[in-house]
Structure 1
């Protein structure tokens, strides 16, 4: 059986960043990246690229901090959204530049991962490549499959007699020929993927029926790239510290401005200011898109409150107006549920029957890892979604205490919005059925990982042999991927302070401790100091608070299932950078710190700073 120091599952943005970082800081160790696809890139893999696919982001905000995407190298101009083809080339060059491209094994799916119950830990992986199974022993394992790998495609009554293609929006490229051959198509869903699919067809002159569930979450928020009366770049707006303060955030405050946050969220005047900000932002977007100017565009007006919307809050990145395609009749919007299918026809709850050449479903993704973990029941220790039971890591009483702490710190979150009084899961309709019980018909616990990366159980913290990269959705993708990769590598290398991750050794103590610990790497003569050790109980409490926070902060997103946020991306970066013992405030002076937006360039030297801290046995100021 092959033995490797590190196995990364997933060759997307987070998997590549983690593999690169581990190799950079552990050049003598072995690693591989396993990906079930046929190319590098994950979401931006070659098999998922269709002609109109572009990033929501514009040049300068969607790149690794230590590998800038330049105009000369990639022919993208400032102010332009980045095409899918450029993203594929960028990720390929990143992997080439850092020497990990040849570490990727394509068309290799990980079927099971079994933990070794020993002091050293490790994982035996059963993998399948081109129909052949074999095993790999991984001393460390990183799951970087993300939340947009496994599509959820519901079954619909009558689909066996439909007689036309039914496919998930992920597979749009596989049906690219229909852009020129289909006369009328139907797109089902209100997500950004649905908007993209609608535009891909309608911009080619194909008639589109666009179905948005009457019992669903409604159309997502779609903002122009520049918002507010001052026409600020939205991506930079969400990474500006003084505006991040206006978002209630349980892990905020590590930037040292806890007093400001307390004013905004714990006083009546402050809450009035924050409400005014979110109202202004929402009203500005509604006005810019002119939803109310026509009955058809009004159907695309979002149903959720902008403050409670997470990463589904998206950006209009099309070269021409999608609203014009609605106004001229190329796109017809239907607010109704699907009740069934018959020959080349979609039936709706309002009695409408839509004749169509295909049905494209933008119906979301599976939110559990695509790997079966063994032994049975270990998913509870790993903090992964599972059917609730009495043996869970957290008791109902602990969950209730966490909820009360969140709501007492952020009273505004007690007033939860009602997005849709008719809201019900897609499987509660008469039309839809599925065998995918683990993901949709069974209520599962949320993802519950410390720092959204590592299991909060004593055994996992002792062996330090597994982490999850990219188990979250946010606007700060590449910056977070870079910081998470460094945090995970430091975690594996036992280089995080004991005040961040306790050095768990049997018997497992649940009480706070202080200990005399070396401030440099083991094996080196080091200055000795006394450092507070975070207890397992404190680590578990933080983990639960952060996991439960999403349920209250982002009910219009996926916050109840996994981390999903927008304005809280910068505070999350602050948290990881502080854990690494590095500078959180990275601007020059208090005014710049408040008003200048953060970007990848602010984290360009993060690795060098970390190496200097480790080798020098000190924290940077």
Structure 2
């Protein structure tokens, strides 16, 4: 049996970031990265790339702080979106540059993880692995649909593998796309641009808001990513984890007073309207059906960018795309019957219906998953910890953030599964009072954020410090941690009511204060612009380069404190 100090599950951005961070701090660490795919990259792996795939963020906001994408020689231009092929090449170059490949094992799937030794406080994991055949897996929604429909049924997760075959198949003339998020837009664009007719089935609330990647303010170009990471703008996004960011009085005014609430509401309505106007959707009569019915305030990372080569909405004017709203009544052969009575004839179905927020790997014993903070199936287990805490949290949230009372009502996502309930959105609450030897589990991908790479870098460093019991803050009791977890989770149910609904962290304007908090946990500067509050207010938006050197800063601080790094 092979033994390792650390196993990182997944060779995507977060997995590579974690491996790089851990090995930078401790080069002698015995570390393995496993991934079921045949190439690195996670969602940017070779097998998941499809025509036209690009990052939503532009250069400068989707890159590692110590490995700029412009220096990686993959053809990216300054302040341009990064194509799927460029992103994959960038991650391959990153792994090569930092000598990570010898730690990565591809085509390897963990089928079971069993915790051992927890009773004596020195717990580890036994992982059962097997060789994987990438592309074999199918989502349950895909499997159910295939039982009813005789043509190709593809979830957008598998679009990279399936899209070329559908595009090239002359027998596929009509394609149905189901869903309203960014992946649905991508699928519609791919097939309509390839000459297929697309019937697009939208939820009743319309599509998610889609903005132009940038807009003009005089002679200045303003990027969406910069707005989301400009500190004064983040004050307009309520977040319980913003406490301690140094601007509490402004936040209390904006979110705790009637005048402040009017300003916040006006900001979201105004900027949402401006974004729609600039996107071109308002000038296109046939695109009006796509208009979101709600303010963007209650979306999360589903808000996205129109990063296409041509005008997306022209596809509707050219009658290449027809839009239907409502629910599917039933599927019969090659026909989809809508509850409106309409019947859609199609040769292929594309499901852009989101994903399950489960752990993905069976963790044993399963009886510990609730205390670990993992989603549990309520049809099989009972949540006997959080119902009372959640009721108290709801009262606190609407008292502290009255605008949350206006959150739209939407059917619950995967109601049979409880949310992720992790301390700081990262750590199992049942382990935080253990010594370093008893801390053996961190989830880095339970946080969705626009700033994927920044998030991965900050959370990876936090994870190392936490697992080694080297955070700079006192460890809360498990009961205090659960109260915080409940508050943060329930806040997400209101704040991202049209997004992940608190099932996992879903950060829009709340990303920067979250990274601030983790940096303070580490004992590092969260104000990184220089010149105190003046720099934070006037020195522009945060980008990857503002976080450059945080690992070295933390290592130097540990050395100054007399800390001795140790393996797990």
- Structure 2 counterpart of 1:614: 558
Shift of 1:491: 1.3
Is 1:185 the counterpart of 2:129? The answer is no
- Structure 2 counterpart of 1:594: 537
Q: 5+ residue gaps in structure 2?
A: 564-568
Is 1:208 the counterpart of 2:198? The answer is yes
Is 1:317 the counterpart of 2:307? The answer is yes
Greater Cα offset, 82-91 or 550-559? 550-559
Are 2:449 and 2:511, in contact at CA under 8 Å, matched by a contact in 1?
Answer: yes
- Structure 2 counterpart of 1:527: none
Which secondary structure state, in structure 2, belongs to the residue aligned with residue 124 of structure 1?
A: strand
Aligned partners of 1:62 and 1:106: how far apart in 2? Answer: 24
CA, structure 1 residues 151+234, in 2 after alignment: closer, same or farther (shift >3 Å)?
farther
Give runs of aligned pairs for residues 142-291 of structure 1, distance below 5 A: 151=139, 153=141, 159-160=146-147, 162-175=149-162, 176-181=164-169, 182-214=172-204, 217-227=205-215, 232-291=222-281
Aligned partners of 1:226 and 1:280: how far apart in 2? Answer: 16
Shift of 1:330: 0.9
Are 1:550 and 1:563, in contact at CA under 8 Å, matched by a contact in 2?
Answer: yes
Shift of 1:460: 7.0
Which secondary structure state, in structure 2, belongs to the residue aligned with residue 417 of structure 1?
A: coil
Aligned partners of 1:367 and 1:573: how far apart in 2? Answer: 22
Aligned partners of 1:618 and 1:583: how far apart in 2? Answer: 20
CA, structure 1 residues 414+456, in 2 after alignment: closer, same or farther (shift >3 Å)?
same
Give runs of aligned pairs for residues 367-406 of structure 1, distance below 5 A: 367-388=357-378, 392=383, 394-406=385-397
Are 1:31 and 1:103, in contact at CA under 8 Å, matched by a contact in 2?
Answer: yes
CA, structure 1 residues 171+395, in 2 after alignment: closer, same or farther (shift >3 Å)?
closer
Are 1:253 and 1:261, in contact at CA under 8 Å, matched by a contact in 2?
Answer: no
Shift of 1:358: 0.9
Which secondary structure state, in structure 1, belongs to the residue aligned with residue 302 of structure 2?
A: coil
Aligned partners of 2:348 and 2:495: how far apart in 1? Answer: 37
Aligned partners of 1:587 and 1:605: how far apart in 2? Answer: 13
Are 1:187 and 1:194, in contact at CA under 8 Å, matched by a contact in 2?
Answer: yes
TM-score (norm 1): 0.84
Aligned partners of 2:336 and 2:471: how far apart in 1? Answer: 55
Are 2:54 and 2:84, in contact at CA under 8 Å, matched by a contact in 1?
Answer: yes
Give runs of aligned pairs for residues 549-568 of structure 1, distance below 5 A: 549-568=491-510
- Structure 2 counterpart of 1:537: 479
Aligned partners of 1:204 and 1:161: how far apart in 2? Answer: 26
Note the alpha carbon deviations across 1:293-345, whole angstroms, 9 max, x for none.
Answer: 44420111012321111100111100101100111111111113222223322
Are 2:446 and 2:504, in contact at CA under 8 Å, matched by a contact in 1?
Answer: yes
Aligned partners of 2:132 and 2:433: how far apart in 1? Answer: 32
Aligned partners of 1:536 and 1:257: how far apart in 2? Answer: 28
Identify, as 1 or 2, the structure richer in helix.
2
Are 1:185 and 1:208, in contact at CA under 8 Å, matched by a contact in 2?
Answer: yes
Aligned partners of 1:338 and 1:484: how far apart in 2? Answer: 40
Note the alpha carbon deviations across 1:389-434, whole angstroms, 9 max, x for none.
Answer: 997473422222222222221111122224xxxx546xxxxxxxxx
Note the alpha carbon deviations across 1:586-616, whole angstroms, 9 max, x for none.
Answer: 1122333114100000000101110111111
Shift of 1:187: 1.1
Which secondary structure state, in structure 1, belongs to the residue aligned with residue 5 of structure 2?
A: strand
Note the alpha carbon deviations across 1:59-115, whole angstroms, 9 max, x for none.
Answer: 111011111110671211123211000110111111111121121111211111111
Are 1:152 and 1:366, in contact at CA under 8 Å, matched by a contact in 2?
Answer: no
Aligned partners of 1:173 and 1:605: how far apart in 2? Answer: 35
Which secondary structure state, in structure 2, belongs to the residue aligned with residue 73 of structure 1?
A: coil
Shift of 1:213: 3.2
Aligned with 2:453 (options 464, 467, 478): 478
Aligned partners of 2:26 and 2:275: how far apart in 1? Answer: 47
Shift of 1:496: 1.2
- Structure 1 counterpart of 2:566: none
Aligned partners of 1:304 and 1:155: how far apart in 2? Answer: 32
Shift of 1:195: 0.3
Which secondary structure state, in structure 1, belongs to the residue aligned with residue 330 of structure 2?
A: strand
Aligned partners of 1:404 and 1:68: how far apart in 2? Answer: 45
CA, structure 1 residues 458+41, in 2 after alignment: closer, same or farther (shift >3 Å)?
closer
Shift of 1:351: 2.2
Are 2:177 and 2:187, in contact at CA under 8 Å, matched by a contact in 1?
Answer: yes
Q: CA RMSD in A?
A: 2.3
CA, structure 1 residues 151+250, in 2 after alignment: closer, same or farther (shift >3 Å)?
farther
TM-score (norm 2): 0.91
Aligned partners of 2:433 and 2:304: how far apart in 1? Answer: 36
Aligned partners of 1:71 and 1:328: how far apart in 2? Answer: 41
Are 2:433 and 2:477, in contact at CA under 8 Å, matched by a contact in 1?
Answer: no
Aligned partners of 1:412 and 1:36: how far apart in 2? Answer: 43
Shift of 1:153: 2.2
Aligned partners of 2:403 and 2:187: how far apart in 1? Answer: 36
Aligned partners of 2:314 and 2:132: how far apart in 1? Answer: 46
Aligned partners of 1:320 and 1:291: how far apart in 2? Answer: 14
Give runs of aligned pairs for residues 403-552 of structure 1, distance below 5 A: 403-418=394-409, 424=411, 440=414, 443-458=416-431, 461-462=434-435, 463-499=438-474, 502=475, 534-552=476-494
- Structure 2 counterpart of 1:11: 11
- Structure 2 counterpart of 1:39: 39
Aligned partners of 1:255 and 1:321: how far apart in 2? Answer: 40
Is 1:584 the counterpart of 2:526? The answer is yes
Are 1:474 and 1:564, in contact at CA under 8 Å, matched by a contact in 2?
Answer: yes
- Structure 2 counterpart of 1:87: 87
Q: How many residues align?
A: 548
Aligned partners of 1:212 and 1:328: how far apart in 2? Answer: 19
